[in-house]
Homo-oligomer: A and B are copies of this chain.
Amino acid sequence: MFDEMHEECGVFGIYCPDGSLDPAHQTYLALYALQHRGQESCGIAVNDKGVIISQKDLGLIPEVFNEVVLNHLSGGNMAIGHVRYSTTGSNNRDNAQPLVMKYIKGTIALAHNGNLVNAYELRSHLQLSGAIFQTTNDSEVIAYIIAKCRLKAPSIERAVVEAMNTLKGAYSIVLMSPKKLIAARDPNGFRPLCMGKIGENIVFASETCALDAIGATFVRDIEPGEVVVVSDGKVESIKEHCGGKSSLCIFEYIYFARPDSIIDGESVHMARRRAGALLAKRHPVEADLTVGVPDSGIDAALGYAEESGIPYGLGFIKNRYVGRTFIQPTQGQRVNSVKIKLNALSSAVKGKRVVMVDDSIVRGTTSARIVSLLREAGAKEVHVRISSPPFKNPCFFGTDIDSRDKLIACRMSVDEICRTIGADSLGYLDAEDLEKLAPNAKCSFCTGCFTGRYPMEVPDEIPKNRFETKFDV
């Protein structure tokens, strides 16, 4: 909850041929529903008969988009949007997306979720031919590759299909050329991407909750490897890259996605409840109360309670008004940030043996604080259950689990972690159970961060800011 994993992006696109809806405004609403996928920056680009204007900045949707900005973006017949979490610290507004670029065939805008594993090679190769880069985004690499392919390809969609021969890794892309809206998902399908319909208008979104928010109907998921092109009111699908073994990121179900989304056929909420139930089977305990750590531990806690028969209850109140940061005092003691955001419900937990369900343990410090909140509130015992296996490996496909040294599970045994966080017992989801989380899913999974088994070749280690080089004379 506080030193959590971060998804790097959410994308959205809408094609409104008949002007019945304002593309920018629909995108604005949809991005609210995708905000959980990225809170650092956001942006919208609108296509009005080939002229693309955009607004993007650091901040949440309501910070970046006010009435004046939305009016400025009003009109046109297509828009794409993006929310982004990035790992590179303070002030990199330049990295906000959508990326708008002019190339030989006009202007295109691109929004991207995922990480390439060969971005560094591609980038170096491009630089050796004289390319310059103004961001540290993989998206800029993708744009370059597409632009290169476009030189020979007969159309923008063919350029995208060609580019996919070169791009390795995770990418769910929404792209807008002067006349077309295109969605593409990498052949592994690491990141979700779906298509919906609202009247005659076509939309693409990272998650179905964005469709719900604007009243669109779910049509289908974009297949791993598929390219979908919308133009002149027609929707075409190119499946040349389809058919390989897919590997949706399993952590989308466990943590990243919103519980009300349905990804590749499986409900996120149900997957989490199943995780809780599987935990209860593997790690039963005698206790009086099951509580979830808000917000992402709630669903699994319900599953644990159902399976174990230990009643579910509220264990915490989360303060909805404290933002990502609050101001620490300049004098006197530092303030416990967990305490400001979370309070244990002593009237519910006092004197009880409590099962506390959370989605993951990253560094352990936050878990320790939350356990301690329960004890201070009078809990007699605290049994921690984690609805995912221990993180032991970096992620190369678009989350920031990229360094082994900060992961507590790389340094300690489960027993040691249990003592470190001050729990009476600790149980993780068994890696073997991962396969059982999403029985309805039409795809296979990437479980690399838990198992070290990646669905494609990966680099040795990813440095945080791989493009922040500083050599030369």
Contacts and interface: CB of A to CB of B under 8 A. Distances in A.
Interface stretch (A123-131, A364-372, A394-402): A123-131
Interface stretch (A234-242, A338-346, A420-428): A338-346
Interface in A39-74: 39, 49-51, 53, 55, 60-62, 65-67, 70-72, 74
Copies of this chain present in the complex amount to: 4
Interface stretch (A167-175, A316-324, A380-388, A449-457): A316-324
Interface string A310-328: 0111100101111100110
Contacts of A270: 347-348
A154 to B, nearest CB: 9
A410 interface: no
Interface string A219-248: 000000000000000000000000000000
Interface residues of A, number: 113
Given A102-B133, A179-B473, A295 B314 contact: no
A106 B339 contact: no
Contacts of A155: 473
Nearest to A311: B306
Contacts of A53: 91
Interface stretch (A1-9, A184-192, A280-288, A462-470): A462-470
A440 to B, nearest CB: 10
B144 A130 contact: yes
A131 to B, nearest CB: 7
Most buried by B among A67, A130, A148, A335: A130
Contact of A471 (B62, B106, B214): B106
Contacts of A471: 50, 105-106, 178
Contacts of A60: 321
A326 B62 CA distance: 8
Contacts of A107: 469-470, 472
Interface string A244-280: 0000000000000011101000010110000000000
Contacts of A209: 317, 343
A22 interface: yes
A295 B320 contact: yes
A205 interface: no
Nearest to A133: B102
A128 B156 contact: no
A260 B179 contact: no
Nearest to A465: B51
A271 to B, nearest CB: 9
B269 A343 contact: no
A29 B335 contact: yes
A32 B470 contact: no
B347 A29 contact: no
A180 B473 contact: yes
B178 A321 contact: no
A299 interface: yes
A217 to B, nearest CB: 11
A215 interface: yes
A104 B123 CA distance: 9
Most buried by B among A104, A107, A333: A104
B147 A329 contact: no
A322 B36 CA distance: 11
Contact of A212 (B49, B136, B326, B343): B343
A468 B52 CA distance: 9
A431 interface: no
A177 interface: yes
B147 A132 contact: yes
Contact of A260 (B132, B140, B295, B343): B343
B62 A269 contact: no
A152 B108 CA distance: 31
A412 interface: no
Contact of A178 (B29, B101, B262, B473): B473
Interface of A: 20-22, 25-26, 28-29, 32-33, 35-36, 39, 49-51, 53, 55, 60-62, 65-67, 70-72, 74, 90-91, 94, 99-108, 124, 127-134, 136, 140, 143-144, 147-148, 151, 155-156, 177-180, 209, 212-215, 258-260, 262, 267, 269-270, 295, 298-299, 302, 306, 311-314, 317, 319-323, 326-327, 329-333, 335-336, 339-340, 343-348, 467-473
6 contacts: A36-B321, A71-B330, A94-B100, A99-B134, A130-B147, A259-B314
